[in-house]
Amino acid sequence: MKPILYLAAPLFSHSEKAFNEELTGILSDKFDVFLPQRDNHLIVDLIAGGMSVDAARRKVFDGDLAAIQSCDVLFAVLDGRSVDEGTCFELGYAHASGKTCVGLQTDPRRLLPIGNNPMLQCTLTQVLQSLDEVVAWARS
């Protein structure tokens, strides 16, 4: 059996979803990847389908927490001027749960001149900087 990897990343724009799918393809050789946009629910879809906002929030939240609890590794996409707030929560929850946490940050922008906020940086065993590094990491 492959270890289970939870892919924490923004999933709102077409480009974000496509990047997440690309990463899933790379990581699927060595991991069973839980991709929230594919394996849980998107809140906008649940609401569009008639679910109340509160019920949709709870369904997404509970599903993602259960997936984090059962994963072996949380892989967090840290790109952007600031890291996506959902990804920050998932990363903190996984770290507090004793999970291995790895980041990918291909974007050089940071809010702090010294790099990432320590509350992010210190949760991560390593931060990869390219898809080639992701491939090498997944193979190791």
pLDDT at 9: 97
**What is the C-alpha separation between 126 and 111, in angstroms, rounded?**
19
pLDDT at 118: 86
R_g (Cα) of the chain, nearest Å: 15
pLDDT at 112: 66
Token code pair at residue 64: 């993602």
**What is the C-alpha separation between 116 and 44, in angstroms, rounded?**
30
| Under 8 Å between Cβ of 77 and 19 | yes
**What is the C-alpha separation between 9 and 77, in angstroms, rounded?**
5
Q: Which domains does the chain have, with CATH numbers?
A: 4-34+72-139 (3.40.50.450)
Report residues of the chain scoring pLDDT below 50: none
pLDDT at 23: 97
pLDDT at 88: 96
pLDDT for 12-21, tens place per residue? 899 999 999 9
- Nearest residue to 89 (alpha-carbon basis) of 46, 119, 53: 119
**What is the C-alpha separation between 89 and 91, in angstroms, rounded?**
5
103: which strand partners? 76, 127
| Under 8 Å between Cβ of 4 and 32 | yes
pLDDT for 123-136, tens place per residue? 999 999 999 999 99
Q: What is the pTM of this model?
A: 0.92
77: which strand partners? 104
| Under 8 Å between Cβ of 90 and 68 | yes
Q: In 3-state terms, what secondary structure has residue 14?
A: helix
